[in-house]
Every structure is written in structure tokens, then in C-alpha cells.
Structure 1
Amino acid sequence: MPTHRHDAEPLIIPRDAHNVSRREISANALKVLYKLHNAGYEAYLVGGAVRDLLVDGHPKDFDIACNATPEQVKHLFRNCRLIGRRFRLAHVVFGRDIIEVATFRGNEDDGSGDRHVGQDGRVVRDNIYGTVDDDAWRRDFTANALYYSIADFSIRDDVNGFEDIRNRVLRLIGDPVTRYREDPVRMLRAVRLAAKLGFTIEPDTAAPIPELAPLLADVSPARLYEETKKMFLAGHAVASFEGLERYDLLRWLFPGTAKALARNANGSLRRMLMQGLANTDVRVRNGDSVAPYFLFAVLMWPEFCLEFGRLAHGGMGVPDAQRRAADRVVVQQLSRVAIPRRDTLPMQEVWLMQERLRTRQRRRVSRLLTHPRFRAAYDFLQLRLSASEEHRADVDFWTQAQQLPADALDAMLANGNERAKRKDR
């Protein structure tokens, strides 16, 4: 637990004792901070931005906490809109750049606030305002509870977060069981942040996760979709997946995948999945785009293979078994993670095209080469090589087919078909 007590004096880290610089802070965030400060409000850069700057990262989002109410913030900024029901927030809009401004949150409701907690302990609505000290103790992890002051450029630390960041430790504020019950998604955030930052999850913070993992079953599938994208599309997919396995969270997020990997004795499906995640991380680091449908095709392929094998073993023909397997996998997964149709449909196309990539008939080859999903299906086929060398001939063929002029490709197919006929005689 943090060495600071709730009633202890905060640690103030002066400008010359930390590495956070205004040069690394968004110009629009600085505008909002200075305007709040000049209007007489207490205003801080807070949360992930401060954390990332301290670990020499490059924050994408710059959030602000202050003692102005959302309505007061809106009065101060013409380019402001108020959002949220559970947490009332102000968004100050600069074109595509949005600076989120939150009022310091408190714990004690004097009757003027708006807070509602469900019977299961989950916070449904929480709009009680307090002091910066109250706000710090309300945050999830100590690393996210540091406040950069625009008044004197110091960092305020109420929860020993500065030391935890130096020690690369991720620690929950308060009792871990209570905090996870308040919001089960914190378990996923712990894994994601540890993977992103290269931090170790502090033992007391990690210990309850496997036992409380079933709470994720009650989280909305739409919210889990957003968390999944953050986890796997930000350049640390491999470490995130390993964290999900380590803390027994995978079977509550992707139950079919967890089941299929457990049954795959030779580990080939896991090798392919991990290679796909590693490729995704490389693309993100290189600034290349990653299609979410391809990521989900990789994550759910083990379950598709298991379901297809079961149906085919039961006597169903290959095309029908593949289509049925693809549909079943999607339907079952949607009960956990609300993957939109814009991702599930092309994902299924990539799966079903794998069988078609075994063809050598000239007309079908030509059609496949012009198919809008061909490149993704070909990349997926290449990925399958990490699971089995049996796909080598198909990969070599389609690699060559893309490079040959049409007449040369026709000649190659004609020669190949002729050889096949002679072999059959």
C-alpha cells in the first residue's frame, strides 16, 4: 500500500526534481490550464499524461483536473461542451483536439452531489465534488494520481505515485478487492498499463485478479470492445495477451480462444496467434495502420479452427462447416465483446478465403487476385506458416502469382494443371 496516509501532507516535487516539461505538453492543454489559472481556479495536468511524461513517453491525451465545476468551465470556454452522466465532464474542443476537464471528485456527499451505487457495489453515477486531495485518492492507480501544477510547474503526489513510477510498479489506491468490485475493468487496465509501461503489477494489486475475473462477465460488451482495442492496437499486444493469460482473464474476454488454445496440444495455434500480435506491435511502432478486423481474425482463429474441426468431424462438408463455424464463433464472442459488423464481416471473409487460396484453377485465381479482401487473406495465410509448414506451397504460389504478368500467370497455371493431369493418369 502507499506509504502516504490520506491525512498526510502531500509530497511536492519541485520543477528541478522532475522531467516534465511544458515543451512536451499539448499547446491546447496549456491554453486551458493557463485560462483556468488566470481565472482564479486551481488547475492541474493529471493522470496518464503526467505518468507518461515521467517515463519519457509521449502522451496522446492531456486531461485536466480543477476546482471549477463543469458549468463554470463551460462559462469560461465558448468552445466547450458538457458530457457524461456517470461522470460529468467538460470537453474543450480545438478542432479535432479535445481537452477533457474534470472537477475534483470527492467521497463524502453532503446532499448537494449526485451519487448512486448499485447493489453489487458498482458505481452507477458519481458526481460529488471535493478537493485535489480527495480527487487523488479517488483515482485508480498511484501512477495515475500525480498532478502537474501550472502555477509553479511542480508535481503534487498524495499517494506515493512518484516513487512507484521510479520503481516501475503499478499499484492500486485503496483496497484492491473493493476497487475491482467498483469497476471490474480495472483488472484489464492493470494488465494493459503494466504491458504498456513495462511495469510490474504490485503483489497486493495482482493477487485478487484471478478470483475476481468472473466479474467481467457483467461488464457491457460494448465497453469491453473499447478496452480490447486499447489493449491490442497500441503497440503492446503481445505483453497484454500474456498478462491476460497470467491472471486468468483471457477466458472471460475471449472464452473460445482460451478453450481452443488449451486443447491445442502442439501449441501451433498459440504460435500463430502470438506471431500475429507481434506483427501488429511492429506495425504500430512503425506508424503503419492496423485493421481491427485482422486483429480479431487472429485472436479468434483458434476457436474457428476448433469449431470447424468439430463440425467437419461430424460429417458436414467443408464449405458448410466453415461458414457455420464462422457464424457460431462470432455469435458466441459477441456476448462478451461487442465487435461491430464492420469488423466481423471482413474477418469472416479472411477466414473463409483460406480454403479458396488452395485453388489453382485459372479463372478462380484471377478472381481471387482482384478480391478486395485478397491482400488481407494472403497476409493471414503467410501468418499461418508460423503454425505449420504445410502452407508453404500455397504461400509461394500466391507470392509468385501477384508478381507475374497475366500471360505468364496463365502459362504457369496451364503447365501446373497439365502436370497434375499426367500425375492422375
Structure 2
Amino acid sequence: MLKKLFNPFRRSRQRKDPQQPTVLNAHEHQLSTADFSRNSANVAVRLQHAGFEAYLVGGCVRDSLLGITPKDFDVATSATPEQVRQEFRNSRIIGRRFKLAHVHFGREIIEVATFRSDHSQTDKSNSDRSAHDASGRILRDNVYGTMGDDAQRRDFTMNALYFDVSNEKVYDYSTGFADIKRRLIRLIGDPEQRYLEDPVRMLRAIRFAAKLDFNIEDSTAEPIRRLAHLLRDIPAARLYDEVLKLFLNGYAERTYDLLREYHLFEQLFPAAADALKRQPERTDALLRNAFKNTDTRVSNNRPVTPAFLFAALLWPSLTVRASHLENDGMHPLPALQEAAHQVLFEQVQRIAVPKRFSVPTREIWDLQDRLTRRMGRRADVLLAHPRFRAAYDFLLLRESAGEDTQGLGQWWTEYQDASDSQRRAMVNALGGKPRKRRRKPRMKKPVHKTHTGDSPSDNSSGPH
């Protein structure tokens, strides 16, 4: 629930001088140091005592204002990563594109970033630490500046609020406080230029809109459809991380709708987007049910795996590809396996799915065929397979989307709860007999005869 806020429209207006923030006192924003983790507050205080500026910033301030318990805590400071490292022995410097420090407190990590400046205002002396490519995308961002500079180079106004733990004041350099009240996602600066600097900001806008139930401000939303193609230039490994944030945060179905609305889905999953054009109803039902399932598991604090999600996203295109291969004369099982190889290979060119998830994805697909073969002891062997539960859930997902499996899902549902005798009866009721393996006939050992002088030799061709 949104915390009761004072009227932001009187104080949080865009300033002509971006270096002059609106300062909000504790009674105005109603936050306190107790709303943040003790370790994050201690990091900020310790840096201040060492002579540096240091503030809690970003998502932890935003979420606290919304009444959401923050999960991650970031500190922005005037100290360089090297100076933070000197101050905290339990820290390490990470990153090249964005160099920062991680301060470790057991499992909790406090991310400490140095104030960065707006690249458009940097001089040539900083060119070695700041770089853009030909399209305007930021390649490096290690140009340091003031807190005001740092606020202007942040992405959204709601993420540019700085909380001072020593006096419990909030510093707002844009319209962040008012935009949180309005439930608006607004980019700082010119939206098109900001997307050119980092196209992933388009995905971040979608993620925050889905997670917070915010609207995307008109000027922030307008360029997204035109610039969606820029995601093709983002490294596949980075897009994989972003996709996990998009779909495993408990708002996957809403995220799916927004990605399609802004033409971003086809940039991430071109094969799935093509399947949506070929079979819109069935494909949409499959994906939507998969996202609902994921959201339910997240809300119930149950584990979720990207393997199941990728299996659903790529299944419609896999079945089409396998059908084409069968029409070309390939046997159904090899056709399915070859289609799986093709769609995964094409997908990892766009999103770098690691093997620890792509391999289970293929196993879920492979088991769909094996689940149909239940004679003899095969059903019990499948039941003991480590991927059986995921494959069974995926089978039910296929049926929920309208795929006809001849009652296979119901059979396996009953089989899992049946006794041993009931299971044998269920298998026998299927009819037919399991195909026996044909054993290769034993080869008799050759008998070596001893040739006598009266017999023709091996090289003889008969009498002359």
C-alpha cells in the first residue's frame, strides 16, 4: 500500500537548475532509517564519517515510499570504488562497463556506486573512461561527478531519490516524488536519446510498469515501438539476465502483455512471436497459462526454473518445425529432437540460455514423447525420472491450451496416486504387449580345420 504522502505537486516540480534538489523532511516523506537494512545504513554512515557524501538511493527508497519492503539496497557516494575498497575490507570491486563496489555482510550485499556524470557534459579528458558506439549506446560509464550529475544520468525519476540516513532527508532532483504519487514511469532527459544510450531501458520500463502497476508516461512510451529493434544489438548474455527479471518476478503475465503491446516480445523471442501469428489462440493460451503458473509459484514462495519457461516459449515453434521435418520423410522422434536442436540454437543467438537450463528444457520436450509409451515397466521408470514432474506439468500445460493428448494427462494424474496393483491394471488396460528387444543371434566361432597334404590349400582355385 502506498504510504500517505504530503502534496508533492507544490514542491516536486522540475527545476531549471538540475543541481538544486527539492529537499523533503522526514514529516513530509514519512520515511525513517529503520525502513532500510541496518547494514546499508551503516555503510552510508561510515562513508560519511570518512569524509565522503553517501546516500541510500534508487529502488530501496522508491519501494519504501510505496510501502514495499526493499530486497536490495544501493548506496551512492562521492568515494571512488578504490576508496570504498580501502574503507571496507569486506568489499570487492566489480564491473568494467559500470565499475562499482560490493560490500559483503554474510549473504547480504550492499552495492556502492560512485556518483556518475551526464556524458553530454563530459570533456575530452574523460574520453578514456566514457565511450559510446556509433548508435549512441554507452560502452563505458566510469566518469564521476556530483550527486546532481548522478541524478540526471539515472534512468527514471522514481529511481533518482536520495535518502540521507544521518538526517532522514530525501533529495529529489527531478519529479520523482510526484511521479511516485501519480504512479508514473518517466525517463529523465530526452527519452529517445536515453534509449539510444541503453536500449535495455525499454525493458526496464516494462518491468517496473508490470511490477509496480504504474503507467508509462506518454513521452517515455512513444519511442519504444520505433526503437524496439535496438535490442538486437544488446549482448545475448545481458538479455538473458533481463528476461529472468522480467518473467520471474511474479508479474510474468502482465509483463507478457506489455512486451507484446510495445513490440518488444518479438525482439526477445522471434520464434514464439512467429508462432503467435500462425496459431494465435493456441499459442497465446499456452504462453499465458505458463506465465500464470509461474506467477502463482512465485506468490506461494515455490521454486521456479527458467527451463520450464523456455520450454513453453519455444514449444509452439518446435512442433511446427518437427511437423515440417516429418513431412520431409524424417521419423517423428528424430524430427522432434532435430527441431529442438534448431529452435534452441536460434534462440540462444538472441538470449544466451546457459546449458544448465537448456539441457533440462530439452529433457522436458523429450519426455513428452516418452510419456505416451507406458507398457511394461516403462511407466514406473518414467515416474522415477528426475524431470518427470516438470514434464508432467508441461503435459498438463499443453492440454490446458487445447492440445489433444487423448487423455494422457488424466492417465498420469491417476497413475501417480494409484497403488501397485492398480498401476498394473492401468497398464494392462492399455492393451497390446510391450515390444521385446530383438537380440542379435550369437555368432558361432569359426572352426579351424587342419589341412592335410591331400587337401587343396586356401589359395587353391581347384585342379588345373
| Range class of TM-score, shorter chain | over 0.9
Code of the residue aligned with 1:310 in structure 2: it is H
1:244-259 correspondence runs (5 A): 244-259=259-274
- Give the whole-Å Cα distance in 1 for the aligned partners of 2:81 and 2:426: 69
1:230-278 deviation per Cα after TM superposition (whole angstroms, max 9, x unaligned): 111111111111111000011110000000011104x012112101101
Is contact 2:19–2:149 with CA below 8 Å preserved after alignment? no
Moved more, 363-372 or 167-176: 363-372
Is contact 1:52–1:59 with CA below 8 Å preserved after alignment? yes
Which of 97, 116, 122 in structure 2 is aligned with 1:109?
Answer: 122
> What's 1:123 paired with?
138
> What's 2:421 paired with?
407
Is contact 1:6–1:158 with CA below 8 Å preserved after alignment? no
1:201-243 deviation per Cα after TM superposition (whole angstroms, max 9, x unaligned): 1111111111111111111000000000011111111111111
1:143-167 deviation per Cα after TM superposition (whole angstroms, max 9, x unaligned): 1111111121111111101100111
- Give the whole-Å Cα distance in 2 for the aligned partners of 1:340 and 1:364: 31
Code of the residue aligned with 2:98 in structure 1: it is F
1:192-341 correspondence runs (5 A): 192-265=207-280, 267-341=281-355
- Give the whole-Å Cα distance in 2 for the aligned partners of 1:211 and 1:249: 10
Moved more, 302-311 or 368-377: 302-311
Which of 135, 138, 153 in structure 2 is aligned with 1:138?
Answer: 153
> What's 1:175 paired with?
190
> What's 2:51 paired with?
40
Is contact 1:19–1:53 with CA below 8 Å preserved after alignment? no
CA positional deviation for 1:49: 1.0
Which of 48, 73, 89 in structure 2 is aligned with 1:78?
Answer: 89
- Give the whole-Å Cα distance in 2 for the aligned partners of 1:263 and 1:7: 50
CA positional deviation for 1:125: 1.5
- Give the whole-Å Cα distance in 2 for the aligned partners of 1:290 and 1:145: 32
> Does 1:12 find its partner at 2:23?
yes
SS across alignment from 2:322: helix
Stretches of 4+ moved more than 4 A in 1? none
- Give the whole-Å Cα distance in 2 for the aligned partners of 1:23 and 1:260: 50
- Give the whole-Å Cα distance in 1 for the aligned partners of 2:198 and 2:429: 63
Q: Which has the larger radius of gyration?
A: 2
TM-score, normalization by structure 1: 0.94
> What's 2:105 paired with?
94
Q: Give the direction of change, closer, same or farther, for the CA distance of 1:59–1:306 in structure 2 (3 Å limit).
A: farther
CA positional deviation for 1:390: 2.5
Is contact 2:20–2:148 with CA below 8 Å preserved after alignment? no
Residue identity over aligned pairs, in percent, reads 47
Q: Give the direction of change, closer, same or farther, for the CA distance of 1:193–1:418 in structure 2 (3 Å limit).
A: same
> Does 1:68 find its partner at 2:79?
yes
Q: Give the direction of change, closer, same or farther, for the CA distance of 1:131–1:388 in structure 2 (3 Å limit).
A: same
- Give the whole-Å Cα distance in 1 for the aligned partners of 2:404 and 2:313: 21
1:398-421 deviation per Cα after TM superposition (whole angstroms, max 9, x unaligned): 0111112223211221133279xx
CA positional deviation for 1:15: 0.6
Is contact 1:37–1:150 with CA below 8 Å preserved after alignment? no
CA positional deviation for 1:289: 0.6
Code of the residue aligned with 1:319 in structure 2: it is L
CA positional deviation for 1:119: 2.2
Is contact 2:248–2:304 with CA below 8 Å preserved after alignment? yes
Moved more, 357-366 or 236-245: 357-366
CA positional deviation for 1:44: 0.7
Code of the residue aligned with 1:31 in structure 2: it is N
1:18-37 correspondence runs (5 A): 18-37=29-48
SS across alignment from 2:23: strand
- Give the whole-Å Cα distance in 1 for the aligned partners of 2:25 and 2:315: 51
Q: Give the direction of change, closer, same or farther, for the CA distance of 1:308–1:6 in structure 2 (3 Å limit).
A: farther
SS across alignment from 1:390: coil
> Does 1:346 find its partner at 2:345?
no
Q: Give the direction of change, closer, same or farther, for the CA distance of 1:191–1:6 in structure 2 (3 Å limit).
A: farther
> What's 1:423 paired with?
none
Is contact 1:115–1:127 with CA below 8 Å preserved after alignment? yes
TM-score, normalization by structure 2: 0.86
CA positional deviation for 1:316: 2.4
Moved more, 347-356 or 188-197: 347-356
Which of 201, 207, 230 in structure 2 is aligned with 1:186?
Answer: 201
Code of the residue aligned with 2:33 in structure 1: it is R
Number of equivalences:
418
Is contact 2:60–2:70 with CA below 8 Å preserved after alignment? yes
CA positional deviation for 1:172: 0.6
- Give the whole-Å Cα distance in 1 for the aligned partners of 2:76 and 2:20: 19
Code of the residue aligned with 1:367 in structure 2: it is V
Is contact 1:92–1:100 with CA below 8 Å preserved after alignment? yes
- Give the whole-Å Cα distance in 1 for the aligned partners of 2:215 and 2:406: 40
> What's 1:422 paired with?
none
Moved more, 128-137 or 315-324: 315-324
Is contact 2:18–2:173 with CA below 8 Å preserved after alignment? no
1:66-105 deviation per Cα after TM superposition (whole angstroms, max 9, x unaligned): 1112222122111121122222211111122111111111
1:336-395 deviation per Cα after TM superposition (whole angstroms, max 9, x unaligned): 000011111110111121122222312221211111111110011111222116236111
SS across alignment from 1:41: coil
1:301-349 deviation per Cα after TM superposition (whole angstroms, max 9, x unaligned): 2221222222233332210111111001001101100001111111011
SS across alignment from 2:394: helix
